Amino acid sequence: MIRTSQATINPNSKEDVMSFPLVFEDLVPLFKISGTGTVFESPEYGASTIIEHDQKWGVIFEWTQTGPLGWILCGTWNLNVYLEKMGPGEKDLPNQKDVAFIQGSNVSYKEIIEFPAGIVEDGVYRLVTTITFTGPKGNPGPVVCFGDAGLIQFYTAEN
């Protein structure tokens, strides 16, 4: 089991882990970032792209910053999850999570944004994540990222 501050994920679930790459813009010399995201349905079920309406779900963000410039930058990482419904409509989610920047030349992060059951109507959605960087005064920084998890289906099962 992998324990984080907000959920427990079972890496031995029946589902294959379906991670998607986080694509970072490399505008800052001597500072590199790489990472992945994973959509999960209820922590005990693990990674999934088909989510039952009555299950909580979320996105795990994992990324690593490397390079000497990491010692002098400071600020906050801003994580977001967006859903666009296939057909008419979009879904607004209460989703931003702010994570303190940790100074260092080889720092790894693992953060989860988790959503309650029933927050998304049945249907197929495109799920996109973003990570942006803001400086200590709230100014946008030179580091941005997005991840495209592809299509996710939410459904209601009849008992």
Domains located in the chain, CATH noted: 2-155 (2.70.50)
Q: What is the mean pLDDT of residues 18-23?
A: 91
Structure tokens at 88: 């008419």
On whether the CB atoms of residues 119 and 18 are closer than 8 A, the answer is: no
Q: What is the pLDDT of residues 127-147, one digit of tens each?
A: 999 999 999 998 998 888 999
- Three-state DSSP at 122 gives coil
Q: Confidence band (pLDDT; 50, 70, 90) for 16?
A: very low
32's tokens: 């590199």
d(C-alpha 25, C-alpha 84), whole Å: 23
pLDDT at position 14: 39
pLDDT at 43: 63
- Residues for the chain: how many in total? 159
Whole-prediction pTM: 0.84
Q: Which tokens is 23 given? A: 């694509």
Q: How high is the mean pLDDT of the chain? A: 84
Q: Please state, in angstroms and rounded to a whole number, the distance separating the CA atoms of residues 105 and 92.
A: 35
Q: Which of 60, 127, 57 is nearest to 90 (CA)?
A: 127
Residue 111 pLDDT: 96
Average pLDDT over residues 40-58: 84
Taking the CB of residue 145, how many other CB atoms lie within 10 A of it?
A: 22
What's the confidence (pLDDT) of residue 5?
A: 34
